[in-house]
Amino acid sequence: MELTGIHIPLITPFAADGSVALDALEKLAHEVLDAGAAGLVALGTTGEPAAARDRFRIGSATKTFVATVVLQLVAEHRIALDDPVGTHLPGVLRDGAHISIRQLLNHTGGIYNYTSDPAFAYADDASFRTWLSTDRWKSRTMAELVAVAETHPAYFPPGQDWHYSNTDYILLGMIIEKATGRSWQQEVERRIVRPLGLSDTTMPENDPTVPGRHTRAYVSMPGGPVDITLFNPTIAGPAGAGISTTADLAAFMSALLGGRLLGPAELAEMKHTTGLGRGADYGLGLERTPTPCGDFWGHRGDSLGYSSIMLGDDTGQRQVVLSRNPYDPAGLPASEAAFTALVTAAACAGRTT
């Protein structure tokens, strides 16, 4: 199913009296659409039942699911945050003896981001057309993706700086598999999706489809819009292959921040930020987002044709989840500004600073 607008009524629980906040949010939502987004769906909840069931690719929000599984394994003493990666994956990284699991989780290991490699960048028209015709259907193993990263030098010595790297979470997926004997998808399903009843959330292996009712992703090309909804998710794996809905992501954030998935010690570790450079607000698969009404925690999720964010407050009672299709590149700066304003407005509607 194609989504062509915003489900404004889903935001109404944020408002103290319903009307004023709704008008402001609707205005901001339409600014996002007017700036070039092909579609946007939003959900805010303070514990009210959610009704947003259009699935979309959640991109890097997948990382928070994976990080949660890793911290559960830490709680079970099956791995430790300060274990060297090489202890669990011998021979996979040239510097595996000096990079810890913690540094994978918070992107301070300095490992090259494999999606920055020219083979994955698709930065010009010719390479993107190659992706459209052939590369979008390719299957890739996690070991192959790490091997691509290993052909590049490290960004910095482990622990000395911060650089976002999808390779970190590919490695975490491999560690989950080694520690449990099951795939990272199976562990996310077993430990998070089923216990929380997230019936519209899937972590696909190599199926290129988005099941059920879902939003579609488009990209602007000289000949008109091109549908890029379908592609083999192994290009992203545990770094970004997930599929979900605004309702399910809100439920996940409520459970995570409300202490139903991790114990107090593990949740505190997740919120321990690096304090380094651009990653100063990044913890273990969870990022702090300051707002005028307090800190929220969550993750952005950018995938081919999709852009989303999921946030929750410290209590686990209030969540903000939004997804859009950033269609027109020329409108991205204006769309991003309006999107950011919408996130803040949704988080703080009905609240005083």
Residue 8 CB coordination number (10 Å): 14
Query: From residue 273, how far is each of 67, 198, 238, 269, 276 by CA, in Å?
Result: 14, 28, 21, 8, 8
Looking at residue 312, what DSSP letter applies?
E
Secondary structure element (H or E) that encloses residue 39, with its range: strand 37-45
Whether 65 and 170 have beta carbons less than 8 Å apart is answered as: no
> Which one from 19, 60, 183, 244 is the annotated catalytic residue?
60
Looking at residue 50, what DSSP letter applies?
P
Q: Tell me whether residue 100 is one of the annotated catalytic residues.
A: no
User: Residue 234 is encoded by which pair of tokens?
Assistant: 């192994």
Residue 246 CA to residue 50 CA, distance in Å, equals 8
Tokens 């060297």 appear where? 84
User: Residue 301 is encoded by which pair of tokens?
Assistant: 């999720």
User: Residue 36 is encoded by which pair of tokens?
Assistant: 């070039």
Angle between helices 19-34 and 332-348 (to 10 degrees): 160
Residue 3 CB coordination number (10 Å): 19
Residues 6+ apart with CB under 8 A from 337: 35
User: Residue 208 is encoded by which pair of tokens?
Assistant: 């290129």
Residue 119 CA to residue 123 CA, distance in Å, equals 10
Q: Which residues are catalytic?
A: 60
